[in-house]
Structure formats: structure tokens, C-alpha cells
Amino acid sequence: AERTYIMIKPDGVQRGIVGNIISRFETKGYKLSAMKTKEASKELLETHYSDLVEKPFFPKMRDYMMSGPVVCMVWEGKEAVSTGRKMLGATNPLESNPGTIRGDYCIEVGRNICHGSDSVENAEKEIALWFEEGEVMDWTCHSKDWIYE
């Protein structure tokens, strides 16, 4: 099944929105395959955001991402990558729809609470980057026949 990498950024942790975000993915029907807290290093962030390192906002964004712990998660299920992005909402929270995580809980692009992989290929890369082998579980959810037909 498809897996996506969802990360709660330091502002989401500081503001106590961790449980809410987990709950949204759980109640949607996705399966939690891995989860941990982590302090992101400079090197890790430069790899994760390799397409953004040259942007003028990158140093500030990297400091923000290193300002406290993040929560790293892998969620699994049908079209988890594209649906995960929809659940997060648009990158700029002023443009995210109400009902999405960013639409409901934040205001600025530099404090937008969560990250979600933007393609299946990038999801695989990000999961391999943020998790060690053995940290991502393969398990059977007993609700699966009530979630999928």
C-alpha cells in the first residue's frame, strides 16, 4: 500500500496540535506505520529540503525547523500521498481551506505546522531519510474490511 511521510513541525508540537493531527489521519482510515519525535539536524534538513536550499527564506526556515522537536510519522493507505496533502491544506495557510490542518490552525507560511510528501517517489525518499530500517512497521489493521470494500 502507498505510504506518505507526514511531519509535525516544531510549532505544531509547541502549540499542542500533535494529538489532533494524529487523530485526523487515524479517523480518516489511514494506518500508522511509524512514529517518533526527533530533533532535526542541519544536514538532515538540507537533504530533506534540497530543492529549497538556495531560496532566500531557507536559513530562517531551517532555524525554525531546528527550534524544537518534530514528530515524524508514516501513514499508509489508498492514495495516502495526495490525500495527505489535501488534509494538510495549501502551503500558505491564508489560502488553505477551512477543515484542513493548516486552514484550521495557522496563519503564516513560515509557521505552517506540518509537512506532507508531494509525490510517491519523494515519500519513499523521505521515509528512508527520517527513519531507520526496522522503525517502519508492517501490520494488519483489524478495521481494514470496514474501511476498504
> Quick one: which segment of 7-15, 58-66, 110-118, 140-148 binds Mg ion (CB under 5 A)?
110-118
Is 83 annotated for ligand binding?
no
Q: Which is nearer to ligand GTP, 34 or 87 (CB)?
A: 87
**Other beta carbons less than 10 A from residue 114's beta carbon:** 24
Residue bearing cell 534540497: 50
CA distance 34 to 79: 17
Nearer to ligand GTP, 109 or 141 (CB): 109
Q: Which is nearer to ligand GTP, 31 or 115 (CB)?
A: 115
Round to whole Å and give the CA distance between 1 and 80. 9
Instruction: Point out the catalytic residue in the list 115, 123, 127, 130.
Output: 115
> Binding string to ligand GTP for residues 92 to 111, with x set by CB under 6 A, is what?
-----------------xx-
The 66-95 site mask, x for binding ligand GTP (CB under 6 A), equals -------------------------x----
Footprint of ligand GTP (CB under 6 A): 52, 57, 60-61, 91, 109-110, 112, 115-116, 118
